A and B are shown apart, each in its own frame.
Chain A
Amino acid sequence: EVQLVESGGGLVQPGGSLRLSCAASGFTFSSYAMSWIRQTPGKGLEWVSAISGSAGSTYYADSVKGRFTISRDNSENTLYLQMNSLRAEDTALYYCAKSAGNSCYSPVDYWGQGTLVTVSS
């Protein structure tokens, strides 16, 4: 059974940093692309970033480019999102999501339960 468990969310001041983690199990982690997708009541679902199975390709939304870094440790079956220079508009529930294939262009087929990030002073 595929399981994706996010952690690392919390309250942070504007300009601060957080590192989100997603522990994956139930599938061969290195064979699948992974993504971070966030959700807010006001802006709905917003794709944030994706990384291919081999980590050879990474993609970012313009809203986070230069501030967020996606990475993965295939030996530990873990996906990360390093978030720097956080802004109030980054406040959201952050989901870890698995793709159906190695390419980031494969459809997302599983989502974690999410971890809440709140950016506020």
Chain B
Amino acid sequence: DIVMTQSPDSLAVSLGERATINCKSSQTVLYSSNNKNYLAWFQQKPGQPPKLLIYWASTRESGVPDRFSGSGSGTDFTLTISSLQAEDVAVYYCQQHYSTPFTFGPGTKVDIK
């Protein structure tokens, strides 16, 4: 199984400041035949299901604010919130869908400082 790790476990950022979340997979999630990273980022707010933010590691889902961006390839990935807003308080998860079982990271809780 591919093990997904995230860092940090939690972070508190001032409004308008940058938040950076890291995700690492135990093996590559880059499919060489199509050069796509099978890595997605989700945001989950209390009492709600997760919401897709980023797929293929760096493609923003329709309707997601452009302050959210994803980067990385292979085994190391980053989700960046360029200017944190109050509504971004949530838990963020990465997930690989490269090989079954499609595993999730443990989540990173983002709060306001």
A100 within 8 A of partner (CB): yes
Which of A60, A62, A106, A111 sits near B49, CB closer than 8 Å?
A: A111
Encode B15-56 as 1/0 by CB contact (under 8 A) with A.
000000000000000000000001010000000011110011
**B112 → chain A, closest Cβ, in Å?**
23
Stretch touching chain B among A19-27, A45-53, A69-77: A45-53
Chain A interface main SS type? strand
Collect the chain B residues with CB atoms within 8 Å of residue A107's CB: 38, 40, 52, 55-56, 97
Interface residues on chain A, size class: 20 to 34
B102 contacts which of A47, A62, A109, A114 (Cβ < 8 Å)?
A: A47
Q: Is the CB of A45 within 8 A of B101?
A: no
Q: Tell whether B72 is near chain A: CB-to-CB under 8 Å.
A: no
Question: Which residues on the A side are within 8 Å of B56 (C-beta)?
Answer: 107
Q: Which of these, A60, A106, A110, A113, contacts B97 with CB under 8 Å?
A: A106
B100: chain A residues within 8 A (beta carbon): 47, 50, 59-61, 104
Interface residues of A in 46-89 (CB under 8 A from B): 46-47, 50, 59-62
User: Contact at B97–A105, with CB atoms within 8 Å?
Assistant: yes
| Residues in A whose Cβ lies below 8 Å from that of B55 | 100, 107, 109
> Using Cβ atoms and an 8 Å threshold, which residues of chain B touch A113?
49
| Contact indicator B49/A112 (Cβ below 8 Å) | yes
Interface residues of A (CB under 8 A from B): 35, 44-47, 50, 59-62, 95, 100, 104-114
